Amino acid sequence: MDEKDAIAMLGALSQEMRLRIIRYLIGRGDDGASAGEIAEAMDAISSKASFHLSALERAGLITSERQSRKIIYRVSFLGLGGLLSFILNDCCSNHPDIREHCGLPNFEC
């Protein structure tokens, strides 16, 4: 996870429908959801949902797996965790007391 990856992930998350998709997929857990289910849940036409799903996948925030006719999307905990670590470490490595300002519990960075 370098700076370029982080910028791509931040950009992918900074869009209303994409953030809603991430939240929806987190709620679905390991089951994930098909592109059609996601489009319906977002109240969006298929091409719009597909556009945003591919943006999220390109950024490494979700994964896809074909199951017969459907394509199942799942949130990538690895990707999301990597982004959080990037921000936290960029934060904490330079300034040890930032954690406190962040309202986050104490832990080693």
Partner DNA sequence: TCAACATTTCAAGAGAGGTTGAAATATGGA
Partner DNA sequence: TCCATATTTCAACCTCTCTTGAAATGTTGA
Contacts to its own copies by CB under 8 A: 3, 6-11, 13-16, 19, 23, 26-27, 29, 77-78, 80-85, 87-88, 90-91, 94-95, 98, 101-108
Residue 90 binds which of its own copies, DNA, none (CB < 5-8 A, kind-dependent): its own copies
Strand ranges (E), the chain: 33-34, 62-67, 70-75
Determine the distance from the C-alpha atom of residue 19 to the mean position of all C-alpha atoms in its chain, rounded to a whole number. 8
Q: Which is nearer to its own copies, 35 or 98 (CB)?
A: 98
**Is residue 66 part of the contact set for DNA (CB under 7 A)?**
yes
Q: How many Å apart are CA 28 and CA 73, to the nearest integer?
A: 10
